Amino acid sequence: MPADSMPANPQEDPVRAAPRAGGRRRTICWDLPAETSIARKARELTRTTLIGWSYPNLIGDVVLMVDELVANAVTHGRAPIRLCLRVEPRAAPGLAVLICEVTDGDPHLPQLSELDHFGDGGRGLWIVRHLADDFGAWATPQGKVVWFALAMAAEAAPSGDGPGR
């Protein structure tokens, strides 16, 4: 993939478009204020949700990627900002995918630029690109959605307790 391109609309992406088998879909969303301090709250909400959904092994990478996408929405986007986490079962038994979507009111899609190893910023999307199984962005009538997906085992399927029921 060229440095300045991102995957197309995720509805056409196999990670998101794969058929669903048995299992339970889980979704939780939060509307966030466009404040620089909100990335901390987004990390806390994500951590709490992953614990409640019995996915503590995903906390490190997912919290880091959520932090990067929310910080980008605050810095480069505009209100309203919304964070959604979703677990969807896959067709193969025992598999699921965790999808994170961060929406904001700015329609300009993010671009991966050449990585400046000595610069002060510009690493967020590179971090997401390397930690996620897939990621991308698409424009909406209200702005844009930037997302990532992680394939995972569904053995620790949520019991129905905790956030995002």
C-alpha angle 37-41-46 in degrees, rounded to nearest 5: 145
What's the confidence (pLDDT) of residue 83?
A: 98
**Is beta strand 81-89 parallel, antiparallel or unpaired with respect to 95-104?**
antiparallel
For residue 137, the enclosing domain spans 10-153
CATH number, domain containing residue 76: 3.30.565.10
Has residue 160 been placed in a domain? no
Confidence (pTM) = 0.79
Of residues 55 and 119, more confidently modeled: 55
User: Which residues are bridge partners to 27 per DSSP?
Assistant: 86
C-alpha angle 147-28-42 in degrees, rounded to nearest 5: 65
> In which residue are the tokens 């997401």 written?
128
Has residue 164 been placed in a domain? no
pLDDT tens string 14-66 = 333 333 444 678 999 999 999 989 999 999 999 999 999 999 999 999 999 99
Has residue 5 been placed in a domain? no
Has residue 17 been placed in a domain? yes
First-to-last C-alpha distance (Å) of the chain: 37
When divided into structural domains, the chain yields a total of: 1
C-alpha distances (whole Å) from 68 to each of 13, 50, 160 are 22, 17, 28
pLDDT tens string 60-89 = 999 999 999 999 999 999 999 999 999 999
Of residues 23 and 143, more confidently modeled: 143
162 pLDDT tier (thresholds 50, 70, 90): very low
State the Rg of the chain over Cα: 15
